[in-house]
Amino acid sequence: MALMITDDCINCDVCEPECPNDAIYMGAEIYEINPSKCTECVGHFEEPTCAVLCPVSCIPLDPAWRESREQLQAKYERLTAEKANA
């Protein structure tokens, strides 16, 4: 699964710069996560860095975006290859 940011977000700016995939961005009112870029930090860290650092614990799994660990790894590899070719 990708992660999502709930309405409890306080826009503290902690999560966005820590995302290794640049999946987090400022939305209309709060930060949002692009699920096509979110790998839950698979390939980078043991745990999702944004969720670990969030002071209000507003970054749960997104139930609308289900992915296995293998799918997250494949997404990580694709994103890494795209970044290297850019």
What is the value of pTM for the model shown?
A: 0.92
Q: Is 60 exposed, middle or buried (0-12, 13-18, 19+ CB in 10 A)?
A: middle
Domains, the chain, with CATH or none: 16-85 (3.30.70.20)
CA geometry: angle at 60 spanning 31 and 25, to 5°?
A: 20
The DSSP string of 24-83 is EEE-SSSEEE-TTT--TTTTT-SS-HHHHH-TT----B-TTS---HHHHHHHHHHHHHHH
Query: Does the pLDDT value for residue 1 go beyond 80?
Result: no
* Summary mean pLDDT of the chain: 95
Whole-number percent of the chain with pLDDT over 90 = 94
Amino acid 20: pLDDT = 96
